[in-house]
Amino acid sequence: MAKKLRVGIIGAGGIVQVGHIPGFQKAPDVEVAAICDPNIAKAGAVAKKFGIPKTFADYRKMLQEKEINVISICSPNYFHKEQAIAALSSGRDVLCEKPVSMNSIETNEILKVVSKTNRKFMVAFPHRFSAVSTFLKKLISAGEFGQVYYARANCLRRRGIPGLGGWFTTKKLSGGGPLIDLGVHILDKTYWLMGAPKPVSVTGVTFQKFKKVATDGGWPPLETRHPGDKYDGAFDVEDLAAAFIRFDNGAALVLEASWAGNSETVLSYSLFGEKAGAREDAFGLTIFGEKAGVLTDTVASLPPVNVYDEEIKEFVSCIRADRPPITTPAQILAVSRILEGVYKSAATGKEVVF
């Protein structure tokens, strides 16, 4: 019989209610056993909504519960490192929300503990689990694109600053703005589809132009918020970031992420391969190929999937099958170094060479 997994959740905000709790509760032989949040009223309300038996204000108290064998970290970014290290060191397998930490030094510290404890550690990148991602990964791994030598990725919002004045817009709690919040998703996805080459250098720029006219970006979703949450105040992060990233195999990636800008709102990427290319945007996936000397545009028709459920299934399955998670330590570190490199390059006005 499959080992029963009992999950303790850290943080009772938007993503746990939209993704983690429903995902774990749908998985067989998995129980969401406890949830903690320093805002104990919020933990209580979420526990009641989802039928979670125990609540805690302090995650360290929750870690004392012997029957909990899995921890899901869904707190603001600043707390990920400390909580991941504590959970791994106490023998738990860990699913950690993106970004894994505030910078590459912290990420290295976590990965050292992963290696020492030999626990499963997966970073929550739901975009890897869309039907399109799964399909493209299969095609690219089978060599149908040849080398993917160039890619463009953008995640742009015209007006969509999340939780204005809350932790998202406070650098010491978030580590940065849309780059570390949204850009990380599309960066991880394109970089993974490109075959996860090693980054060698980054040039980046950041801007902050919309502080005064920022609007609430709809995240966290209204129904997941606590009446006491504040949505006005600090804003010391960028609202737009752009970067040029070079890899050791000669490939390059152009990345853009914004919470606000006078542009279209878009989530899209293009992959340029030697034999074929692809673009995914709001209209779907198009594969650019050539057959019998004719250029072909193939439109893929794929069934929608719940990416959060798929992400949780993958995490549960790697624990059960005792296999490495889809996010490898080298990939986790590479993404972390790229994000940090963009911020460093933007601050110094120079290319950052790793």
Neighbours of 112 (CB within 10 A): 13
* Least separation in angstroms between CB 171 and ligand NAD: 14
Q: How would you class 24 by CB atoms within 10 Å of its CB: exposed for 0-12, middle for 13-18, buried for 19 or more? A: buried
Residue whose C-beta lies closest to ligand NAD = 13
- Binder of ligand NAD out of 6, 8, 9, 13 (CB under 6 A): 13
Q: Which residues contact 342 (CB under 8 A, 6 or more apart)?
A: 179, 202, 204, 206, 241, 243, 255
Residue window 217-256: x/- pattern of binding to ligand NAD, with contact defined by CB under 6 A: --xx---x--------------------------------
Residue window 46-75: x/- pattern of binding to ligand NAD, with contact defined by CB under 6 A: -------------x--------------xx
Residue 21 or 334 with smaller CB distance to ligand NAD: 21
Contact between 37 and ligand NAD per CB under 6 A: yes
Contact between 124 and ligand NAD per CB under 6 A: yes
| Cα–Cα nearest to 106, from 351, 325, 332 | 332
* Least separation in angstroms between CB 132 and ligand NAD: 16
CA distance 200 to 250: 9
C-beta separation of 239 from 178 below 8 A: yes
* Least separation in angstroms between CB 241 and ligand NAD: 15
* Least separation in angstroms between CB 3 and ligand NAD: 26
Q: How would you class 330 by CB atoms within 10 Å of its CB: exposed for 0-12, middle for 13-18, buried for 19 or more? A: exposed
Contact between 15 and ligand NAD per CB under 6 A: yes
C-beta separation of 58 from 64 below 8 A: no
* Least separation in angstroms between CB 78 and ligand NAD: 8
Residue 203 or 224 with smaller CB distance to ligand NAD: 224
Applying CB under 6 A, the span of 10-18, 131-139, 283-291, 344-352 interacting with ligand NAD comes to 10-18
Number of residues that bind ligand NAD (CB under 6 A): 25
Question: According to CB under 6 A, which residues from 73 to 92 bind ligand NAD?
Answer: 74-77, 79
Contact between 39 and ligand NAD per CB under 6 A: yes
Strands (E), 248-339: 252-258, 266-273, 277-281, 284-291, 294-300
Is-cis flag, bond preceding 324, omega within 30? no
Contact between 177 and ligand NAD per CB under 6 A: no
Strand partners, 72: 9, 95
| Cα–Cα nearest to 56, from 8, 112, 23 | 8
Q: Which residues contact 82 (CB under 8 A, 6 or more apart)?
A: none
| Cα–Cα nearest to 114, from 89, 96, 83 | 89
Contact between 327 and ligand NAD per CB under 6 A: no
**Residue ranges that bind ligand NAD, judged by CB under 6 A:** 10-15, 37-39, 42, 59, 74-77, 79, 97-98, 124, 126, 163, 181, 219-220, 224
